[in-house]
Structures are given as structure tokens and as C-alpha cells.
């Protein structure tokens, strides 16, 4: 499941890392109807970065993990 070992929180991101995060973020914002520059978008970005830093570095795996977590939250809130 993890593409590479955990990253340090102070370790920088490569341009390819940022592109991976951006693609996943943009797709999930559309899927969840989240507008940029909102609390929801900030939460989504933070979750993607957290998952990426734990070693989950593919777009597909990031999106699957976020979908699972957000769907659980929606069921609890709904």
C-alpha cells in the first residue's frame, strides 16, 4: 500500500510530488463539490499531505484513502 517509507515532516516536496498532490486534490474537490479557499479544501489538502508523508504517494491510493475517510465522516454527520 505504501509506495515509499515515511517522510519527515520537514522534508521538502519535489515538483513531481506537488503535481501528484495537485491532481488528487483537484479531482477530489470536484468529486466532493469542495470549493477552493474554503475550510473543506484546507482539510482535504491537509489530509492528502498527511497521507503522502506516511508513504502513500500514488494519486489513486491517495484518492481511495481520502474517499474512505470522508465517506465515513459523512455517514456519522448525516
Give the pLDDT of residue 12: 87
Residue 18's alpha-carbon distances to 7, 48, 52, 58, in angstroms, are 14, 11, 10, 12
Please name the residues in contact with 62: beta carbons below 8 A apart, sequence gap of 6 or more.
20, 21, 24, 48, 51, 52, 56
Residue pair 25/70 in contact (Cβ under 8 Å)? The answer is no
Q: Using one digit for the tens of pLDDT, what is the confidence trace for 51-71?
A: 999 999 999 999 999 999 877
- Across the chain, mean pLDDT equals 85
pLDDT at 1 over 70: no
Is 55 in a helix, a strand, or coil? coil
Give the pLDDT of residue 70: 77
Residue pair 41/35 in contact (Cβ under 8 Å)? The answer is yes
Q: Using one digit for the tens of pLDDT, what is the confidence trace for 17-46?
A: 999 999 999 999 999 999 989 999 999 999
Amino acid at each position: 500500500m505504501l509506495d515509499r517509507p515515511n517522510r519527515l515532516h520537514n522534508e521538502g516536496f519535489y515538483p513531481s510530488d506537488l503535481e501528484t498532490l495537485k491532481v488528487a486534490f483537484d479531482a477530489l474537490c470536484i468529486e466532493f463539490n469542495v470549493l477552493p479557499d474554503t475550510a473543506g479544501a484546507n482539510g482535504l489538502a491537509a489530509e492528502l499531505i498527511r497521507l503522502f508523508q506516511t508513504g502513500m504517494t500514488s494519486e489513486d491510493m491517495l484518492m481511495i484513502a481520502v474517499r474512505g475517510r470522508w465517506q465515513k465522516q459523512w455517514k456519522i454527520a448525516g
